[in-house]
């Protein structure tokens, strides 16, 4: 079975974030990963509503792949902390 990977990256306030996530997803799929991509969830929810969903996706993954700029995103820092607490591998 292929390794499962979650893409983490800045979304809030980032123009064109979906294209960045889609590009990363294509590259990861070419490497035979099964990819969870949070950039394509429904828009319009509060940040606090998205995080439990993101945590659940991270919990289902073997690895978290962090996109450039993640260290400046509050949500990505939360995802990093969550993944680290679950002892998942992370690629930054």
Neighbours of 83 (CB within 10 A): 21
Mean pLDDT of 14-26: 96
Would the pLDDT of 5 be above 90?
yes
Residue 46 half-sphere exposure toward CB, CA atoms < 13 A = 2
Query: Hey, which residues does 90 pair with through a beta bridge?
Result: 64
Share of the chain above pLDDT 90, in %: 85
* Residue 86 confidence (pLDDT): 82
The residue ranges of every structural domain in the chain are 4-91
Query: Hey, which residues does 36 pair with through a beta bridge?
Result: 6
**Cα separation of 17 and 52, whole Å?**
20
Q: 84 Cβ partners below 8 Å, 6+ apart?
A: 90
Per the listing, tokens 């606090």 go with 48
- Reported CATH class of domain 4-91: alpha beta
* Residue 2 confidence (pLDDT): 87
The answer to whether the CB of 82 falls within 8 A of the CB of 53 is no
* Residue 61 confidence (pLDDT): 95
* Residue 71 confidence (pLDDT): 95
């Amino acid at each position: 079975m292929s390794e499962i990977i979650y893409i983490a990256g800045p979304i809030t306030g980032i123009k064109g974030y979906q294209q960045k996530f889609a590009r990363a997803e294509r590259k990861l799929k070419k490497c035979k990963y099964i990819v969870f991509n949070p950039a394509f969830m429904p828009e319009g929810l509060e940040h606090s509503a998205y995080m439990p969903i993101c945590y659940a996706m991270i919990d289902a993954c073997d690895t978290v792949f962090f996109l450039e700029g993640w260290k400046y995103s509050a949500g990505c820092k939360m995802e990093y902390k969550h993944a680290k607490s679950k002892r998942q591998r992370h690629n930054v």
